[in-house]
Structure 1
Amino acid sequence: MFTEFINRILGAERRSTASDRLEKSAVPSVIVTKDSNKTSPQPVPEKYRKDVALLRSKYGDAFKTGFCINLTLLESLSIMPRERRRVDSYRGLQSYLMKEWDITLTITSRKTKSKTL
């Protein structure tokens, strides 16, 4: 403390001890690597397990990464019944399949308007 006071009076530059600690510990303590060749997705959450199993049974070996499934609402309700008989009841499953499996699930109804001109 006394030397710090003298350094302030004499105008010497003060070095921070916190910055010294940061410079010494610049190496991260944990190294995280991402597996680039992901063979199978994470375990299927319970709420989508039945739907994924039904889709696998319908499409068999074709149910893999990059697959695109186009269904009408009536077809999807026959495969994966829902209490709420609307396209938006499948939104969670659609986002899960896209995020984890890279599978595009498109469900259209007679009321769905096309986005083409």
Structure 2
Amino acid sequence: MLLNAGADVNAQGSYYGGALYAAVVGGYEEVVKILLNAGAKIDVQGSQYNSALYEASVRGYEQIVKILLNAGADINAQSTFHSNALQAASTEGHERIVRILLNKGADVNAQCKPYDSALYEAS
């Protein structure tokens, strides 16, 4: 209803950044789909300095990870202060998400500060 009334799908808020990021954090699959279909920018980092794909990966939201990847999310994007989606899923022990990311071409050797590789994070 709000989108039909002209709400800006990419408007930035204070805590979560944009609506897409907030929907991912909440685990709201259908809202994620609606926002993406309405033109939400997929790789914008939320106010928590992470991308939507990172958040879905670290929280174990397998279906949202798939939705974001199918919509063109940058699989190797690094968050501002944290790691990338593969490292996040590895750290949290989300094996199915790790497998999805690897099958979609995530860089298994990517490193970013202050963390190291996905293998290091999984150890």
TM-score range, shorter chain: under 0.3
Compare the two structures and name the one with the higher strand fraction. 1
Normalised by the length of structure 1, the TM-score is 0.27
Higher relative contact order (CA 8 A, sep 6+): 1
The structure having more radius of gyration, on CA atoms, is: 1
